[in-house]
């Protein structure tokens, strides 16, 4: 039937037996077969893995078009008992749409779906993995365990030395801001007025409430940890936080 019917139909109606055989018969079956084969080839090569990347299945809309809806293969492999191949309404999955239509008219029931919470766990795992990989490309500041611990008096003595460093204490960390002082939007004089002192309150809103970029830049200038808690403890009580959080990738 795959070859005889289209050959006879085209031949009897339009006198094109050859066209019916090659185009409506052979070419049609070649497309259908290769579309099926793409589920085991293209669907494991093209696209991304939003739920799990331990195996090769991928999600991609082009594969969905070629395979008539089998393009969201990563979801299918991760949640095989789910009747859906694509989650979102705009993703091409005609089989899912047909089953949903049958359910509305009473011809299908008890459709199997994976718990949404478990699906979201898969997404979260892959997003976090990508974030971790991205984080490893970034240079993070040193944590307190990597820096020397000195007293407040030692900090004041170091700040008085004429060694080219400009030392400022903020949120328990001593920072050498010598490479930044000329670029400070508030001017050199403002920073100079806090050399050898605790500038925590000023940095956290007493003079200016600095943005996240400023916190990140400042953290890269850490040179020591100060064993001192006066104004830092005051800040903790007033503002509810004490220092820029240590990055999770540091």
Task: Render pLDDT for 13-32 as a digit per residue (tens, 0 to 9).
Answer: 999 999 899 898 899 888 88
- 127 occurs within a structural domain: yes
Q: Which of 135, 163, 190 is the last residue of a domain?
A: 135
H/E stretch holding 103 reads helix 94-104
Residues 123 and 173 in one domain: no
Residues 47 and 72 in one domain: yes
Q: DSSP string of 170-200?
A: ETTEEEE-TTTGGG-TT-HHHHHTTTTSB-H
Q: Which of 135, 166, 195 is the last residue of a domain?
A: 135
Residues 85 and 162 in one domain: no
Residues 190 and 131 in one domain: no
How does strand 173-176 pair with strand 149-151?
Answer: unpaired
Contact 17, 26 (CB under 8 A): no
Output the pLDDT for position 74. 96
Structure tokens at 123: 């997404």
pLDDT digits (tens, 9 = 90+) for 181-200: 999 998 999 999 999 999 99
Quick one: pLDDT band at residue 34, thresholds 50, 70, 90? confident
Show the domain range for 222.
144-239
Contact 199, 232 (CB under 8 A): no
- 172 occurs within a structural domain: yes
> Is the confidence at residue 239, as pLDDT, over 70?
no
Q: Which of 112, 135, 158 is the last residue of a domain?
A: 135
What is the total count of domains within the chain? 2
> Is the confidence at residue 233, as pLDDT, over 50?
no
Residues 122 and 202 in one domain: no
Residues 118 and 159 in one domain: no
pLDDT digits (tens, 9 = 90+) for 75-112: 999 999 999 999 999 999 999 999 999 999 999 999 99
């Amino acid at each position: 039937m795959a070859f005889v019917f289209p050959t006879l139909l085209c031949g009897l109606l339009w006198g094109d037996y050859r066209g019916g055989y090659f185009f409506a018969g052979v070419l049609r079956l070649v497309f259908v077969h290769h579309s099926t084969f793409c589920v085991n080839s293209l669907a494991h090569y093209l696209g991304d893995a939003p739920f799990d990347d331990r195996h090769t299945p991928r999600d991609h809309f082009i594969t969905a078009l070629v395979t008539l809806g089998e393009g969201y293969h990563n979801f299918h492999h991760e949640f095989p008992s789910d009747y859906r191949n694509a989650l979102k309404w705009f993703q091409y999955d005609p089989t899912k749409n047909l089953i949903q239509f049958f359910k509305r008219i009473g011809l299908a029931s008890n459709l199997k779906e994976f718990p949404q919470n478990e699906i979201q766990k898969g997404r979260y795992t892959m997003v976090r993995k990508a974030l971790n990989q991205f984080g490893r490309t970034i240079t993070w500041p040193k944590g307190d365990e990597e820096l020397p611990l000195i007293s407040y008096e030692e900090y004041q003595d170091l700040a008085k030395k004429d060694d080219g460093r400009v030392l400022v204490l903020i949120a328990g960390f001593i920072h050498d801001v010598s490479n930044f002082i000329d670029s400070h939007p508030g001017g050199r004089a403002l920073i100079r007025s806090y050399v050898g002192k605790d500038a925590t309150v000023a940095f956290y809103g007493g003079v200016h409430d600095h943005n996240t970029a400023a916190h990140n830049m400042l953290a890269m200038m850490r040179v020591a940890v100060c064993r001192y808690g006066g104004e830092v403890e005051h800040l903790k009580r007033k503002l509810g936080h004490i220092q820029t959080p240590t990055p999770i990738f540091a």
